[in-house]
Amino acid sequence: MHASHDRASRLTYAALLVLTTAAWAAMLRWPKGEDDMAGMAMAMTPTTRDAAAYVIAWAVMMAAMMLPSAMPMIGLYAATQRNAASAAAGAAAIAGFALMYLALWGAMGLPIYLASVALMAMGPSTLAYVTAGVLVTAGMFQLSSLKRVCLRHCRSPLGFLMGHWRAGWRGGLAMGWAHACYCVGCCWALMVVLVVAGAMGLPWVLLVACIVAAEKLLRGGEWVAWVTGVALAALGVAVAVHPQLATALRASSM
């Protein structure tokens, strides 16, 4: 039983590493250019085709950014499947957990797409003040009790599994959904900053991915969240005072 348990864990980590690597490779191949939103160009008028392409690209980006910090949770869940009725049942539960996690993050791409279209319709002055407001709001959220609650669940895989355990592949789907909800609750503000201030450029993607990983995986992750919140709020105030900084922030993503 222990041998099969170890094998399941190794295979799960290997699959996650392959998927993460493939997602980063796809992102690096996206064309970069001014107003291209990191390869996710769109028309001013939303269309179903543009929305679908954007959501797919967003899902790939979320796989690249979020899977590294989710590996401990998914790997521990894989380890619990040693008591599954069969190897196939265990694999189905693990796949359900991981896919549900990615599906919720991918679904966030639709409202992000609509928000991005709205951003592109704004003039530079309006966009600058919207950017300032987003930065300050994100900074305040980083310091909030809701952030701490969601981060606590993300930082404690064992505690999460003990508190949300459900058996079978349906249980895997339910637990994957619950974990994704906590993860979205923890990281949504950083993703909004990525979209509004960073125009989803690769440097900002790397920065936000590192912050997310540090918050969830490092021993001082709560302090990382706090310092990030203070920095974002201060940057938002600076943009409000000097609106031209908003253009510089977005230009730095190109």
pTM assigned to the model: 0.87
Confidence of residue 103 (pLDDT cuts 50, 70, 90): very high
Say yes or no to pLDDT of 3 above 70.
no
Decide: 253 and 236 in contact? Cβ < 8 Å.
Answer: no
Rounded percentage of the chain residues whose pLDDT exceeds 90: 65
Say yes or no to pLDDT of 1 above 50.
no
Q: Where are the domains of the chain?
A: 2-251
Q: What is the arithmetic mean of pLDDT over 83-98?
A: 83
Going by C-beta distance under 8 Å and a sequence separation of 6 or more, which residues neighbour residue 152? 159
Tokens of 147: 């952030």
Sign of CA dihedral 38, 215, 19, 93: negative
Tokens of 4: 């099969």
Going by C-beta distance under 8 Å and a sequence separation of 6 or more, which residues neighbour residue 9? 75, 78, 79
Question: Buried b vs exposed e over 119-153: b needs ≥16 C-beta within 10 Å?
Answer: beeeeeeebbebbbebbbbbbebbeeeebeebbeb
Decide: 70 and 15 in contact? Cβ < 8 Å.
Answer: no
Q: What is the arithmetic mean of pLDDT over 59-73?
A: 94
Note the pLDDT tens digit of each residue in 16-56: 999 999 999 998 887 654 444 444 445 456 788 888 999 99
Predicted confidence at residue 79, as pLDDT, reads 87
